[in-house]
């Protein structure tokens, strides 16, 4: 189960210790947005580009070597261009929008794109239905991307709402993959707007509670701060403590084990108190070796071998 950049970095390690075709990634679509008439699915694209080895590694999103000529020209026509869509990246959004308009489901489009880019892992959007994350702030309610990218996560968070969550059904293959998998990993992603969204889609949380496979989570919080992104601001805004323990608490109804960073080893006892096995290791992924070691730790916690 995956959000964007943190999950994609972890998956780079995972596909080096497991055959890639044995991996299914269930991806958050709450960050999806329509801009310039195009459907953008940031987390799906981040995971796909990363596994295709074409991602801009420094940013963690977009395509390496991409240019921004189209966006510059849109600005000359007076359009807002706060979301940086590269020229090659735009081809993905044009294709997605076109295929959706022709009647394909988002999951079918995603499958076509990942195959075209040579990705062997299955990539499943959490839902094919409309689902958008909004953040309630002191400056009003806004789309998650507006909060994150346009306004740089500077507004005070008062709440989060998932529009479409009540009607959203898991996309085809999601529940089946949870039921039949040998091990389930909750990637180091934002617990509110990446994993929280996936868990809010009808039936997914229940499928995890009933899964026969072991489930391991990886903390996205290291030393009381998120490795990347605004998880701290969102957690605080919802009245939660910003800690590995608070993340484990959000997942305690289905988690068997939780991997936390060595920096948070002081929280082991509290997390074990939730009935969850704890593994403390290095979770900060700077090099490929870090990613591979973390993937190996996850497989060990799942009692699986690569
Ligand atoms: N993140 C930014 O911080 N600024 C951007 O301009 C931006 C553009 C962008 C374009 C395509 C894409 O797939 C992702 C993009 N992201 C950008 C990342 C994205 O907004 C977030 O990282 C995810 O939604 C959170 O997982």
Q: How far does the centroid of ligand 1 lie from the alpha carbon of residue 204, in Å?
A: 25
Output the residue whose Cα is nearest ligand 1's atom 14: 42
Confidence of residue 179 (pLDDT cuts 50, 70, 90): very high
Indicate the domain borders of the chain.
Answer: 1-31+122-306, 32-121
pLDDT in tens, 280-297: 999 999 999 999 999 999
pLDDT in tens, 229-267: 999 999 999 999 999 999 999 999 999 999 999 999 999
Distance set, CA 56 to CA 67, 69, 82, 165 (Å): 12, 17, 18, 31
What pLDDT sits at residue 215?
98
User: How far is Cα 64 from Cα 86, in angstroms, rounded to an integer?
Assistant: 10
Output the residue whose Cα is nearest ligand 1's atom 21: 42
**How buried is residue 297: exposed, middle or buried, by Cβ count under 10 Å (0-12/13-18/19+)?**
buried
Residue 172: pLDDT over 70: yes
User: How far is Cα 237 from Cα 205, in angstroms, rounded to an integer?
Assistant: 23
What pLDDT sits at residue 306?
64
* DSSP letter, residue 243: S
Secondary structure class of 144 (helix, strand, coil): helix
User: How far is Cα 184 from Cα 216, in angstroms, rounded to an integer?
Assistant: 6
Q: How far does the centroid of ligand 1 lie from the alpha carbon of residue 63, in Å?
A: 11
Q: How far does the centroid of ligand 1 lie from the alpha carbon of residue 18, in Å?
A: 28
User: How far is Cα 228 from Cα 222, in angstroms, rounded to an integer?
Assistant: 10
Q: What is the mean pLDDT of the chain?
A: 97
Computed from CA positions of residues 304, 175, 127, 237, in that sequence, does the dihedral angle turn out positive or negative?
A: negative
User: How far is Cα 4 from Cα 47, in angstroms, rounded to an integer?
Assistant: 6
Output the residue whose Cα is nearest ligand 1's atom 4: 149
pLDDT in tens, 50-86: 999 999 999 999 999 999 999 999 999 999 999 999 9
Confidence of residue 93 (pLDDT cuts 50, 70, 90): very high
For the structural domain made of 32-121, what CATH number should be given?
1.10.8.240
pLDDT in tens, 184-208: 999 999 999 999 999 999 999 999 9
Confidence of residue 304 (pLDDT cuts 50, 70, 90): confident
User: How far is Cα 57 from Cα 277, in angstroms, rounded to an integer?
Assistant: 32
pLDDT in tens, 102-154: 999 999 999 999 999 999 999 999 999 999 999 999 999 999 999 999 999 99
Q: Superfamily for 1-31+122-306?
A: CofD-like domains (3.40.50.10680)
What pLDDT sits at residue 236?
96
Q: Find out whether 67 and 24 touch, Cβ atoms under 8 Å.
A: no
């Amino acid at each position: 189960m995956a959000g964007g950049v943190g999950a994609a970095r972890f998956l780079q390690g995972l596909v080096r210790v497991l055959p890639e075709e044995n991996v299914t990634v269930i991806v958050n679509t709450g960050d999806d947005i329509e801009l310039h008439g195009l459907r953008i699915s940031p987390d799906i694209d981040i995971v796909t580009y990363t596994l295709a080895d074409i991602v801009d590694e420094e940013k963690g999103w977009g395509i390496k070597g991409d240019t921004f000529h189209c966006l510059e020209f849109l600005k000359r026509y007076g359009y807002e261009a706060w979301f940086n869509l590269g020229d090659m990246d735009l081809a993905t959004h044009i294709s997605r929008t076109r295929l959706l308009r022709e009647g394909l489901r988002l999951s079918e489009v995603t499958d076509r794109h990942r195959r075209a880019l040579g990705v062997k892992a299955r990539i499943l959007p959490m839902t094919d239905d409309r689902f958008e994350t909004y953040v309630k702030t002191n400056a009003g309610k806004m789309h998650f991307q507006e909060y994150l990218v346009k306004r740089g996560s500077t507004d005070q968070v008062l709440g989060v709402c998932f529009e479409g969550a009540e009607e959203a059904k898991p996309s085809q293959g999601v529940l089946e993959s949870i039921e039949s998998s040998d091990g389930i990993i909750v990637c180091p992603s934002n617990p509110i707007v990446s994993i929280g969204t996936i868990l809010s889609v009808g039936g997914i949380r229940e499928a995890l509670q009933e899964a026969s496979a072991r489930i391991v989570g990886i903390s996205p919080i290291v030393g009381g701060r998120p490795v990347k992104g605004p998880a701290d601001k969102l957690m605080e805004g919802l009245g939660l403590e910003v800690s590995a323990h608070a993340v484990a608490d959000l997942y305690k109804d289905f988690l068997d084990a939780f991997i936390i960073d060595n920096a948070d080893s002081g929280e082991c006892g509290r997390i074990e108190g939730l009935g969850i096995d704890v593994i403390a290791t290095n979770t900060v992924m700077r090099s490929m070796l870090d990613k591979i070691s973390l993937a190996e730790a996850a497989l060990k916690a799942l009692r699986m071998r690569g």
